[in-house]
Structure 1
Amino acid sequence: MHIDIDKDACIGAGQCALAAPGVFTQDDDGYSTLIPGREDGDGDPMVREAARACPVSAITLRDPAD
């Protein structure tokens, strides 16, 4: 799975980091970012929930085969 975070749309709500703390964190400015080495979600079942939890839909997921 490929995870994209729209940095222009992100408002720093932190819902992604709460839902999937093994994949998402917040940078020094409070915006969503991926934990280094976890850019593909690494099979974490909470990644989809993190994307759904984003109040501004800044996270998109796609299958790399698409």
Structure 2
Amino acid sequence: TNAPSFKVLEIGEKVILVIYLPDGLELKPYDRFIVEIRPLAGAPLTVERLIPPTLPLNEFVSLI
């Protein structure tokens, strides 16, 4: 594969994380969801958000 071999983000680097929901699982406006990223070492990163009421179908939610 052509995948990069590095595994750690450097200071100032950003990443886009895309999460595909399984068929049949749908998030509706005002649903709360939690994303937890657990590295092999160190503390996990937990982000909790609400689905906005006006999110168009097949759009994305910024966790910033």
TM-score, length basis structure 1: 0.25
Higher-Rg member (1/2) = 2
Specify which structure has the higher proportion of helix. 1
TM-score, length basis structure 2: 0.25
